[in-house]
Amino acid sequence: MLIASGLLALLIGAAFAVLLSSVADLRTLERRARQSEEVLKVTNVLERQVVDLETAQRGFVITRQESFLQPWRRAQLAVPEEAATLARLVGNDPQRQRQARRIVQAIGSYLRDYSIPLVATVRGDPEAARTVAATDEGRKRMDAIRGEFDGFLTAERGLAAAQERRSDAAAQRAIVAAGVGLGGSTLLIALFAGYLTRAIVQPVRRTAAMADRLAAGNLGVRTVERGVGEIGVLERSFNTMASSLEQSREELAASRTRIVAAGDQARRRIERDLHDGTQQRLVSLVLNLRAAEAAVPPERPELRAQLAGVADGLTGALEELRELSRGIHPAILSEGGLGPALKALARRSVLPVELEVDVGARLPEPVEVAGYYVVSEALANAAKHAHASVAQVEARARDGRLHLSVRDDGVGGATLGGGSGLVGLADRVAALGGTIKVHSPAGQGTTLQIDLPIPGVAAGPSGSPDPDGAGPLPAGPVPGDPG
């Protein structure tokens, strides 16, 4: 910018310098032209005075009438004044000054040495003034004066023509300077605008587009660092910011994944502790009570009834504990995988569920846990909030991703925000790098679409449909289900 501004200023300054020089020359030439015009005018007046002087003198010589001497005297008085004016006008030019001096000297000599003596001679001896010699001398002197005038006027006209040519050249130079300045300035401005567009506008636009993509969540975007100066600093700063945001997001995602994994492990540990510890202890107590009940003598029916009541209470507590254990972490999910766990979940649902499962082999544990709890929460919301009459669940593993879909025919209006249970599902899905979409127009039911990546699984079909996974499933035990 500094270089371009300097070049533009230099070009405009040079053009204005030429223009100012041309204007100064034009003003000088104009002043000289006016002076030359005045010189020509004074010279013409002086020449007319000399002609009047010679005419009046000749008339007096021929007629000897004193009336002819009045113009002669006026011309004689006017000649010195006009001669002084001419000398003043050409005082700054030695050559013109010499020519004017010769004219004045010739006129003075004519008056002093010829005209005044001739008038005096006419008064004393008229015939002597009419001689050929006197006449030839007067003609020679007048021819000499005219020659001086002609030479002076020719030189003055030549000088005026030269000044006019110089004036035309100065005007042409001013026009050329103005044209070059205007064209060069326009070219430099166009080049400068192109440079600004390439060096500033385009990088700023690229950086703004990068900022928009960053705001949209694409933290892997970067801008090309080709700018110079402050633009380069801006590009590097944006790339550094994007790298920092991407690193922070990766750290946040890893932290969220660890939190979810830790929660799942805690659930699994609690379920295992309940199953292997408390449940087994309760089963042993129930068996002991049943054995004690069987050993009670027939004559003690009240004791038998008492033991039976305690055994029934323990059995009910055991069932409640098993239900609680399934809610914490179903054992069938760890033992059989996502397909059997979803089938068991569908059988226990208070809503009729149409289930389609095509997941093939076992999936990574975080993916199975996330898929199970997403379907579980969606069915719970459909029964509790949507007042639905039926739900449709699809689970398919394709191209290295697990696609889940849960649809119901409830009242709709569900959103990911607003404190709904879907917020926790969105966090769980996002922790695994997946996406969740909710389509829930009012009065038209709700559709959840979940997409989870499957680490370590290549793209392509991953299994065939399970013939037992389609259609409404009847209630009943599922192998591996502790319930």
| Tokens of residue 263, six digits | 């929660």
Are 157 and 245 part of one and the same domain?
no
More confident position, 11 or 327? 11
Q: What is the pLDDT of residue 394?
A: 92
Are 246 and 180 part of one and the same domain?
no
**Within-domain flag for 476:** no
Q: What is the pLDDT of residue 461?
A: 42
Q: What is the pLDDT of residue 473?
A: 35
Measured distance CA(448)–CA(116) in Å, rounded: 135
The residue from 141, 169, 190 where one domain ends is: 190
Classified as helix, coil or strand, 315 is helix
Q: What is the pLDDT of residue 324?
A: 62
Q: Are 332 and 482 in contact (CB under 8 A)?
A: yes
Are 104 and 47 part of one and the same domain?
yes
Are 22 and 140 part of one and the same domain?
yes
**Within-domain flag for 185:** yes
Are 293 and 246 part of one and the same domain?
yes
In the predicted model, is pLDDT for residue 308 greater than 70?
Answer: yes
Task: Give 450-469 pLDDT, tens digit per residue.
Answer: 999 988 655 444 333 343 33
Q: Which residue has the tokens 């679409």?
A: 449
- Pairing of β 391-398 and β 353-358: parallel
**442 burial class (0-12, 13-18, 19+ CB within 10 angstroms)?**
exposed
**Those residues with Cβ within 8 angstroms of residue 382's Cβ, 6 or more apart along the chain or in another chain:** 351, 388, 391, 406, 408, 410, 446
Helix (H) or strand (E) holding 308, with range, is helix 301-328
**Within-domain flag for 280:** yes
Q: Are 256 and 240 in contact (CB under 8 A)?
A: no
Number of domains the chain is built from: 3
**Within-domain flag for 199:** no
Q: What is the pLDDT of residue 64?
A: 78
Q: Which residue has the tokens 């006019």?
A: 164
Task: Give 39-76 pLDDT, tens digit per residue.
Answer: 888 888 888 888 888 888 788 888 878 888 888 888 87
Strands (E), 212-333: none
Are 412 and 374 part of one and the same domain?
yes
Q: What is the pLDDT of residue 119?
A: 82
Alpha-carbon distance values, 247 to 191, 208, 253, 453 (Å): 41, 21, 10, 20
Sheet strand arrangement including 435-439: 353-358, 391-398, 401-408, 446-453, 435-439
Q: Which residue has the tokens 């993509």?
A: 213
Band (pLDDT 50/70/90 cuts) for residue 276 is low
Are 294 and 342 part of one and the same domain?
no
Band (pLDDT 50/70/90 cuts) for residue 406 is very high
What is Dmax (Cα atoms) for the chain? 207
**Within-domain flag for 429:** yes
Are 19 and 142 part of one and the same domain?
yes
In 3-state terms, the chain is what percent helix, strand and coil (to 5)?
A: 70, 10, 20
**Within-domain flag for 128:** yes
**Within-domain flag for 123:** yes
pLDDT over 70, % of the chain: 86
**Within-domain flag for 331:** no
Band (pLDDT 50/70/90 cuts) for residue 6 is confident
Band (pLDDT 50/70/90 cuts) for residue 106 is confident
Q: What is the pLDDT of residue 405?
A: 92
Are 258 and 151 part of one and the same domain?
no
Q: What is the pLDDT of residue 267?
A: 65
Domain of 107, CATH number, reads 1.20.120.1730
pTM of the predicted model as reported, rounded to 2 decimal places = 0.46
Q: What is the pLDDT of residue 475?
A: 33
Are 26 and 123 part of one and the same domain?
yes
Range of the domain at 236: 229-307
The rounded mean pLDDT for the chain is 79
Are 28 and 136 part of one and the same domain?
yes
Q: What is the pLDDT of residue 480?
A: 39
More confident position, 269 or 216? 216
Domain of 397, CATH number, reads 3.30.565.10
Are 246 and 106 part of one and the same domain?
no
Which of 47-61, 161-175, 310-324, 386-400 has the highest mean predicted lDDT (pLDDT)?
386-400
